[in-house]
Chains A and B, each alone.
Chain A
């Protein structure tokens, strides 16, 4: 099997150019899907029987929660690849992903809390999923803080990578213990925030938003990756020979 294409991918100048080429394929579909999803979710979908129109918050809450976890997983995988195979680009992917994931974790928390007010009557409830998201935000904060406090880029990358991997091992433990803790301390009568049993015309906008957000992350990652590459390759020869657009 010819692996040159793989090695080429790990080479920063190639990755830089390929990222530029891929960007429109992520950005435009993302925009379209999100717009379709918004229209479908806000206008077309019928109101939910139990939650009324408040359920429409799911169209931003669920995609951001999904993204918060998917980005963490991606970051951890990239960190692992960088650590084990010493591919600098993988570390760049991890570094680029962290702030994006954190922003969506924050969005999931905020929309979850706002959704909670009409559903549960208070601005914050220690719901299992919200609490899990909060801890996830702490994990993101830790990784970003650690990377920021180490001046040597190599050491920062690898330390953050170890932390990301430790975090990813902990994630299932955290999820299950928070879930257990929540069922323990709260009566089961509390209705869960979540996807109501969805009719088809409620579901497709949600799928569109999920896919749209995912592609959106891809697009943002590509842009941030290009920035990271430029920063890391500061003194490399290929830069001085002129930057391709």
Chain B
């Protein structure tokens, strides 16, 4: 079981590496969305700083939505998914491995890119630690929730639109706390409360999502 999980993880990583153009798209999308806000609201860094936390999180949310489609689409298309279903390995574990790979490839780069984007929104460098932690936890939660949505909408036409409709409401609680954490850090305050709540949400998602995803995959793939 552990061996199969490792295999799934490494395979997804390898595939992503080969098609890194596809993987870069959500990242570029993240930067583009974040750029929309200064364009819309004006270049005053002081004003942008006030909304930086929310902007970063909304951009990360939307970029994650884009990226989560990569999770099952390719495998569903070429039949690997069916093999996984038939393999006799616990599907939830395989899903966990795939989710982790997905986060490594989509979430982690976003987290690393975030301080740059945040600087563009007027955030002080002192906030970077909290900012990255908040987004790291957040993208993890979004990977988990997105996986559920992705599994449920597998193969549907206009599935990406539907995916957003399904996943975004579920992501709202983490948005509330994640953005709040960044805002607190930007103003020099201790963001421990929201970060702890975010961590709790991550633990909950990572524990409960894989079985839900597995159930959804079986439903979608039959």
Please list the residues of chain A having a beta carbon within 8 angstroms of any beta carbon in chain B: 83, 135, 138-139, 141-142, 145-146, 149-150, 155, 158-159, 162-163, 165-167, 169-170, 173-174, 176-178, 180-181, 184
Which residue of the partner chain A has the closest CB to B173? A177
Which residue of the partner chain B has the closest CB to A184? B180
Please list the residues of chain B having a beta carbon within 8 angstroms of any beta carbon in chain A: 148, 152-153, 156-159, 162, 165-166, 168-170, 172-173, 176-177, 180, 197, 201, 204, 208, 212, 215-216, 219-220, 222
23 inter-chain pairs at a CB distance below 8 angstroms, sorted by A residue, are A135-B169, A138-B168, A139-B169, A142-B162, A142-B169, A145-B166, A146-B152, A146-B162, A149-B157, A149-B158, A158-B219, A159-B220, A162-B215, A162-B216, A162-B219, A165-B212, A166-B148, A173-B173, A173-B201, A173-B204, A174-B169, A177-B172, A178-B176
Contact (Cβ within 8 A) A146 B153:
yes
Contact (Cβ within 8 A) B169 A138:
yes
> Shortest distance in angstroms between A85's beta carbon and chain B's nearest beta carbon?
15
A163: contacting residue among B166, B180, B197, CB under 8 A: B166
Secondary structure class of chain A's binding surface, majority of residues:
helix
Q: For A145, A162, A169, which residue has the most chain B Cβ atoms within 10 angstroms?
A: A162
Query: 10 new A-B pairs (CB below 8 Å) besides A162-B212, A162-B216?
Result: A138-B165, A141-B165, A146-B153, A149-B159, A149-B162, A159-B216, A163-B152, A163-B166, A174-B172, A180-B176
Contact (Cβ within 8 A) B156 A150:
yes
- Residues of chain A with a CB closer than 8 A to B173's CB: 170, 173-174, 176-178
- Residues of chain B with a CB closer than 8 A to A169's CB: 208
Q: How many contacts between A and B, using CB within 8 angstroms? A: 69
Q: For A142, A173, A180, which residue has the most chain B Cβ atoms within 10 angstroms?
A: A142
- Residues of chain B with a CB closer than 8 A to A167's CB: 170
> Shortest distance in angstroms between B113's beta carbon and chain A's nearest beta carbon?
26
Contact (Cβ within 8 A) A155 B162:
no
- Residues of chain B with a CB closer than 8 A to A158's CB: 219
- Residues of chain B with a CB closer than 8 A to A178's CB: 172-173, 176
> Shortest distance in angstroms between B52's beta carbon and chain A's nearest beta carbon?
16
A184-B215 Cα distance, complex, nearest whole Å: 37
- Residues of chain A with a CB closer than 8 A to B180's CB: 181, 184
Which residue of the partner chain A has the closest CB to B216? A162
Contact (Cβ within 8 A) A162 B176:
no
> Shortest distance in angstroms between A151's beta carbon and chain B's nearest beta carbon?
9
Contact (Cβ within 8 A) A142 B166:
yes
> Shortest distance in angstroms between B165's beta carbon and chain A's nearest beta carbon?
5
- Residues of chain B with a CB closer than 8 A to A138's CB: 165, 168-169
Which residue of the partner chain A has the closest CB to B215? A162
- Given known contacts A158-B219, A159-B220, A184-B180, is B165 in contact with A170 (CB within 8 Å)? no
Which residue of the partner chain A has the closest CB to B145? A166
- Residues of chain A with a CB closer than 8 A to B152's CB: 146, 159, 162-163
A174-B165 Cα distance, complex, nearest whole Å: 16
